[in-house]
Structure 1
């Protein structure tokens, strides 16, 4: 999936949405990022997807895929911030897609990821990402650390440990990446679909060569994920030391429907962003060090 030509035609123009100013296109440059995929229970994953058209991506082993992607946006239209995506790989359609095939026919099956949680570093990222694109963003304490041997990121909320991921840093960064990704979110009780495009060189490890560790804390935003029967080792990891990304201005949304009349709407609405400012300040860095007891 390449960047649509229409995006290139408005380069250098400006937009103003909900008091958030953008120089177009909305993009990030020289951005480090890493990703890991873990197998988890398919039936339990399905229970977390809203509506009746999203299904977990089914791997050949019959399991679902739990995804963690952390991006250190060092140069964007709205300043610096970290974005910490915790998601389930999924498809969209009237019925469950065949196993594995949606990885090849992504457009046909609406292949993407449903975001379970999306903490970020700054208010302006929350206001724009949630209010415009429907991404379930909220502000939290985050870090992104790269050493000679590892890449890691930790997430805390209100002083409480929520999540941590560590992967072994790939020894070679040689694989060219030029892809588009689809994100689904649940906002205003609507299913929101947005798109992002990345170009970079990456280090990729598969199977037994992929090494990493998950830690899931007791915070309400993440504790429920421990019930997904997530396997302790990733089946793939990916690290991009310097990626360039473009967020599409086009998105879609649909009503989330129910068999019976719902009593109340649980997802957040505009009230969660309407009074947010455009601050770029970060909360203090994560400080919890006794996270080993939360290892998956």
Structure 2
């Protein structure tokens, strides 16, 4: 794994941030993950991103909704699941050209704008949101590795909000060793963080039925209903195991709008009272016949 020089230099040192103890680097091991990308309307996607510096990445004429779920089994703060709902994006003063940002990721600041990020534990919310500005909140999540499907469901208050199913690949054969950029909005600022990870990926491209995405009518999901999501995935993949390092260095910029904002974003008042509980909420309520696509 390509670990940033700073993290290599800090290895074995100790930090205490917002009361959370870390042994550097901030890392994960033995961590399976699934992901899928779906074509969406770029103008509708742009309306979900605040400010004017992050733009939807365009795969020709369409943008991409990226759903990825990571089952963190060994980390600095214990085990938890992280369910990311994001829009593939670029960063800069103007919209980037089509396709090219996929090849020149550093040049165009290619990454993903994280729209929603439920997690299993309170300590993950406190650290991820309070330190890196990620839109974390606690929810009921699961990660199921079956014979034919790998699946994760996201519930709140006893109601399913989203479920993602990825058809289990015959093998995970492609070794990947790479970094990824996450953009998030918090405290009226745009926060950029990076994660470096490695693992072997099994995947499919433009394969009908390779993934299934179910989105409920819960009000929290209403903005996603405006995106004209293509039900067939552009990409679907599964990592049986990954290792990762989250960089302790991040960047942030003020989010500015053409008109004075009508209400503030979530701020420190949403994190200062949080504790360090590693307790999970009850499992989501899955339909008994979910494997049949219901």
- Using the TM superposition, give the Cα deviation of residue 210 of structure 1 relative to its aligned residue in structure 2, in angstroms: 6.3
The Cα offsets for residues 177-219 of structure 1, whole Å up to 9 and x where unpaired, read as 1010000101011100000011001101111266111110122
8 Å Cα contact 1:210-1:237 kept in structure 2: no
Moved more, 179-188 or 223-232: 223-232
The aligned residue for residue 274 of structure 1 is 272
C-alpha distance in 2 between matches for 1:185 and 1:48? 12
The aligned residue for residue 150 of structure 2 is 151
**Residue pairs, 1:53-64, within 5 angstroms:** 53-60=53-60, 62-64=61-63
Q: Alpha carbon RMSD of aligned pairs, Å?
A: 1.7
**Residue pairs, 1:206-245, within 5 angstroms:** 206-208=205-207, 211-245=210-244
- Using the TM superposition, give the Cα deviation of residue 260 of structure 1 relative to its aligned residue in structure 2, in angstroms: 2.0
8 Å Cα contact 1:210-1:236 kept in structure 2: no
Moved more, 207-216 or 243-252: 207-216
The aligned residue for residue 192 of structure 1 is 191
C-alpha distance in 2 between matches for 1:185 and 1:125? 16
Secondary structure, aligned partner of 1:132:
helix
- How many aligned positions are there? 292
The aligned residue for residue 201 of structure 1 is 200
8 Å Cα contact 1:200-1:244 kept in structure 2: yes
C-alpha distance in 2 between matches for 1:4 and 1:245? 11
- Using the TM superposition, give the Cα deviation of residue 63 of structure 1 relative to its aligned residue in structure 2, in angstroms: 0.2
C-alpha distance in 2 between matches for 1:180 and 1:212? 24
Secondary structure, aligned partner of 2:133:
coil
Task: Give the TM-score taking structure 1 as reference length.
Answer: 0.95
8 Å Cα contact 1:197-1:247 kept in structure 2: yes
**Residue pairs, 1:1-296, within 5 angstroms:** 2-60=2-60, 62-208=61-207, 211-265=210-264, 267-289=265-287
Where do 5+ consecutive residues of structure 2 fail to align?
A: none
Secondary structure, aligned partner of 2:219:
coil
4+ residue stretches of structure 1 with deviation over 3 A? none
The Cα offsets for residues 140-188 of structure 1, whole Å up to 9 and x where unpaired, read as 0000000111100000011121100001001011100101000010101
C-alpha distance in 1 between matches for 2:74 and 2:32? 10
- Using the TM superposition, give the Cα deviation of residue 291 of structure 1 relative to its aligned residue in structure 2, in angstroms: 9.9
C-alpha distance in 1 between matches for 2:11 and 2:237? 30
Cα gap change, 1:202 to 1:107, in 2 (>3 Å): same
Secondary structure, aligned partner of 2:75:
coil
C-alpha distance in 2 between matches for 1:186 and 1:38? 22
C-alpha distance in 2 between matches for 1:209 and 1:229? 18
C-alpha distance in 2 between matches for 1:291 and 1:58? 36
Where do 5+ consecutive residues of structure 1 fail to align?
A: none
